[in-house]
Structure 1
Amino acid sequence: MTPPSRSDTERAALDERVAAYRRDTEFDATVRAQALRFRATWGLFSPREIDEGTSMLLDAIEVGPDDDCFDLGCGYGAIGLTLARLAPGGETWMGDRDFVAVEYARANAERNAITNARALLSNGFDAVPADQRFDVVASNLPAKVGNESLTLLIADAYAHLNPGGHLYVVTISGMRRFIERTFDEVFGNYEKAKQGRQHTVALAVREPSS
């Protein structure tokens, strides 16, 4: 019997790897004492575990049991579903412009029997009703969308926050000065809530009188 050529062997290995990439990833995570199970897919951000920046963000967020929350750019729902668990008396919205992300976030809510969370296809806040208000908005902001888009997201977050509401974002630390400047321009305040080696969590508050 003729042994397989190297090209046949390499092709078989490639086929096996591609088949593995087609299968969903699945993992367990405990965040803020909340045990959650996530299913994701390649192409979504950090599909095998909750990334360091998101973990920092979730550790820093202060949320009340009845708060209404918005997870901006939800991915498969790591932030939003944690907030929904921490605020069982409120409603958490999860928005993403990627329909694949929305489907996985919705499925992960069902997988974890979380009934006070909803996922919607939305480019930023575009699909959120103009009169909808939240107590907490949280996001792991991607650097690659550009400063113009980030400014729009921050301004829209302000518009959708209740007086006294909080915006929490995590970014790579190289964006800290931009976030500080934009928070000051939009909200009139900025606080560095948490600092890591590579990421910074920032907080802005919509003042009750604004």
Structure 2
Amino acid sequence: MFLADFSTLSCDETNSMKMNNAKILFLHGLDSSKESNKFHAIQAKQKFCIDVDYRNLSFQTVEMLYQNIIEKIKPDLLVGHGVGGYWALRMSYQFHLPAIVANPSLAPKFRDDYPALEEKDLDHDIPQLAYLELGDEMLNMYETQQILERFMIVHTYMGGYHRLECPENINLLVQQFEQSFHPSPK
């Protein structure tokens, strides 16, 4: 299996990466949108992102919205950041879809109706990868790393911040997914 040590990468080393073939649904973070630099950094021929107002929509409404979107788009891969990472992990489990998460919020606290992710949401054989920038000023990525590394491969970047200093590093995980879990069509 291909493994990368992101702590030795600089942010511009991945600029010349090849285009990814997977159909990707990106789930943005809290107070973000499809204009997110994380979404635009993903190099994929087919990528989608739907704006979701997490603060003003109930957990149940967001869950139904993502269920409908996944049924319509039929992505090969979910990619999520922050609260979008939370949803990527939940939807990955519900739909048996591979997921990549970047600095995910495992227990969102911005609303009372969001349950924390449970072990059952993570302990399965669905391919999932995590990219954590350990310098996150909003969420403790060291704690997140300790939780996630029991269930998936976790790649870390020693610097960074919550909004991601190096969002283009997500492409390396997409390529790892394509090489390891999703053979390219012949």
Look at both structures and tell me which one has the larger radius of gyration over its CA atoms: 1
Length-normalised TM-score, structure 1: 0.38
Structure holding more strand per residue: 1
